Chain A
Amino acid sequence: MPQTSTSRSDASIDRWVHRASVQRVLPWLFPIVVLSIWQLASQAGWLSTRVLPEPWAVLKAFWTLTLSGEIGKHVATSTWRALVGFGIGGGLGLLLGLLTGTFRAAETLLDSTLQMIRNIPALALIPLVILWFGIDEWAKLFLVALGVFFPIYLNTFHGIRSVDKGLIEMARSYGLSGWKLYTQVILPGSVASILVGVRFSLGLMWVLLIVAETISAQAGIGYMTMNAREFLQTDVVLVGILLYALLGKLADVLAKGLEHWWLRWHPGYQPEART
């Protein structure tokens, strides 16, 4: 019957799809197909290089910029900005989140203020930021720090508050209190939530940096792309976009690695459950 033969071939496709080697290749299949079509379209003259340069030209631009050391310089500048901004904003977010999460008094005092500030889009502050900091590094660091602050603050606060009350009760009745209770029960219990905030922040970090670097910069990936736009170098613009994508992916991989290490006790991260 036709129906059974269909289901049989479905099953064999299913098996093929689930093989490990195929699993590793499969996610790349779609981008490769898109890139090929794009390359063909450019070569056939359907796409103007002013609109979109061919992938091959982007690669060549990438290569020349790497050889000239320009990419290295810009990536280093951008990464430095991203990390310092993330360190300041994320560190403050963690600190304040721990504070308001742990102590009711701190929550009463600070939380509603922070919630008000949270609702202001960081980018709306650009004019003010330029007035405050001028157009030097601090303006960019401020924007990044402000953006990454809130996801980490909110998730830390939430993480501390949602630690299992039963575990805290148990730990207290087993003689834990103060610092011991905090480091052995409350903090580990909120790590999962804090890491969600970190991953969210890493995404925001690049978005804010892109905007900050397009305002007024002398170096950085954003500066490179804005500069290239003035000279209609669409291939260099695309190199910049590609760099952002790669760096964003890298940050996410690092955050995931952190999750795997810190949450290795979590049922969701067990290699395989056994009883």
Chain B
Amino acid sequence: MNHFDLELQALAVHSPPALIPRDASADRAAAPKASSRRPRGGAAVDARGLSKRYGVRGVLNDVDLTIAPGEFVAIVGRSGCGKSTLLRLLAGLEAVDTGQITLDGDARARHQADIRIMFQDARLLPWKRVLDNVALGLDGPDAQERAREALSQVGLSDRASDWPAVLSGGQRQRVALARALVHTPRLLLLDEPLGALDALTRIEMHGLIERLWQRHGFTALLVTHDVTEAVALADRVVLIEDHRIALDERVPLARPRARGAAFDAIEDRVLQRVLSQPGEETPAPAPGIVPLAAWRWAV
């Protein structure tokens, strides 16, 4: 089965994704401070001949993917096609069977600190207040200050001392976005981060992600099942089908993008391509366990 969020498509006709008045002021206020910390730019990602199997079932088969520094790539495909697995391989959450991944020509593992991931569920630690969640994994005396700055970039400065439990789904994802950005990643991986949000919140988030991407210049890889979302945000839309890349479509539209004939044409082309293949419904793969060096943890 497929979810292409007809709801959102219908809605987006009336409200272009660029329409985000709410966070704009907070964003601008934080801009001079943010510029004091120089953006580190995006990383060039190169994946060659990636394959991954779970038991006897192949999930990815000889996938090649090259992403230029600072490029925004969206991966679409039916559920179970392996698009999330590809992202987890790039994130280092799972080991590749064959093939290799490089960042700026180096092995992926050497750039672990440059890669941050945003999950479908925000995965905030419920026992840490919002600010401490954003500061997770930060060291140094200015950790709190940096977290505060990141929080203001997503327009949530006033919720710094709240528990995650009292936030809405959209606010949680904004906190998760701040938590990722505070590490100034050079590659940001987005694993359907907006999948669980309502249509209006998603449109807001599109604008926020686009603006922060433009400001920080990181390379972005978005996995989504929503073709409209992919076309609205990405420079390139990559379709994964039958465990390999079936379509690699440039989106040569000016930003911020509004819906129009050109937008619709690209969206339609990708959508038709997705729908042309009868879907095979396969269960999502079980997440693997990341080995930890010294002790074998049971958790």
Of the residues A166, A186, A265, contact of B121 by C-beta under 8 Å: A166
User: Considering only CB atoms, which chain B residue lies closest to A274 in the complex?
Assistant: B166
A103 near B92: Cβ-Cβ < 8 Å: no
User: Considering only CB atoms, which chain B residue lies closest to A168 in the complex?
Assistant: B299
Of the residues B125, B290, B296, contact of A184 by C-beta under 8 Å: B125
User: Considering only CB atoms, which chain B residue lies closest to A262 in the complex?
Assistant: B127
A172 near B126: Cβ-Cβ < 8 Å: no
B298 near A270: Cβ-Cβ < 8 Å: no
CB-CB under 8 A from B166, the residues of chain A are 270, 273-275
B223 to chain A, nearest CB (A): 15
| Bound CA span A54–B290, Å | 68
A102 near B136: Cβ-Cβ < 8 Å: no
Contact with B along A180-202 (1 / 0, CB 8 A): 00001110110100000000000
| A266-B297 contact given A169-B287, A169-B290, A274-B166, CB 8 Å threshold | no
CB-CB under 8 A from B121, the residues of chain A are 166
| Bound CA span A273–B164, Å | 11
A189 near B93: Cβ-Cβ < 8 Å: no
B136 near A265: Cβ-Cβ < 8 Å: no
A261 to chain B, nearest CB (A): 12
Asked if A249 is at the interface (CB within 8 A of a chain B CB), the reply is: no
B287 near A103: Cβ-Cβ < 8 Å: no
B123 near A102: Cβ-Cβ < 8 Å: no
| Bound CA span A47–B80, Å | 75
A103 near B116: Cβ-Cβ < 8 Å: no
| A172-B290 contact given A265-B165, A270-B166, CB 8 Å threshold | yes
List residues 245-275 of chain A with CB under 8 A from any CB of chain B: 264-267, 270, 273-275
CB-CB under 8 A from A169, the residues of chain B are 93, 123, 287, 290
Asked if B117 is at the interface (CB within 8 A of a chain A CB), the reply is: yes
| A177-B290 contact given A168-B299, A171-B136, A273-B166, CB 8 Å threshold | no
A173 near B165: Cβ-Cβ < 8 Å: no
- For chain A, which range describes its interface: under 10, 10 to 19, 20 to 34, or 35 or more residues? 35 or more
Contact with A along B124-137 (1 / 0, CB 8 A): 01111100000011
- For chain B, which range describes its interface: under 10, 10 to 19, 20 to 34, or 35 or more residues? 35 or more
CB-CB under 8 A from B183, the residues of chain A are 174-175
List residues 171-199 of chain B with CB under 8 A from any CB of chain A: 171, 179, 183
User: Considering only CB atoms, which chain A residue lies closest to B163 in the complex?
Assistant: A265
A188 near B127: Cβ-Cβ < 8 Å: yes
Asked if B265 is at the interface (CB within 8 A of a chain A CB), the reply is: no
**Interface hit among A8-16, A78-86, A157-165:** A157-165
B127 near A265: Cβ-Cβ < 8 Å: yes
CB-CB under 8 A from B294, the residues of chain A are 178
| Bound CA span A168–B136, Å | 12
| Bound CA span A189–B123, Å | 13
CB-CB under 8 A from A185, the residues of chain B are 125
A105 near B163: Cβ-Cβ < 8 Å: no
A186 near B123: Cβ-Cβ < 8 Å: no
| Bound CA span A167–B128, Å | 12
Asked if A135 is at the interface (CB within 8 A of a chain B CB), the reply is: no
User: Considering only CB atoms, which chain A residue lies closest to B295 in the complex?
Assistant: A103
Of the residues B117, B125, B299, contact of A173 by C-beta under 8 Å: B117
Of the residues B123, B296, B299, contact of A170 by C-beta under 8 Å: B123
B92 near A173: Cβ-Cβ < 8 Å: yes
Contact with A along B72-111 (1 / 0, CB 8 A): 0000000000000000000111000000000000000000
Asked if A104 is at the interface (CB within 8 A of a chain B CB), the reply is: yes
CB-CB under 8 A from A173, the residues of chain B are 91-93, 115-117
A176 near B167: Cβ-Cβ < 8 Å: no
| Bound CA span A174–B93, Å | 11
Q: Shortest 3 CB-CB distances between A and B: which pairs?
A: A174-B137, A170-B123, A188-B127
Please name 9 pairs of A and B residues whose Cβ atoms are closer than 8 Å in the assembled complex, sorted by A: A161-B298, A169-B123, A173-B92, A173-B93, A175-B137, A177-B292, A265-B163, A266-B165, A275-B168
Add 15 more A-B contacts to A103-B298, A166-B119, A265-B127 (CB < 8 A).
A102-B297, A103-B295, A104-B296, A163-B299, A165-B287, A174-B137, A175-B113, A176-B137, A177-B292, A184-B136, A189-B127, A265-B163, A265-B165, A270-B163, A275-B168
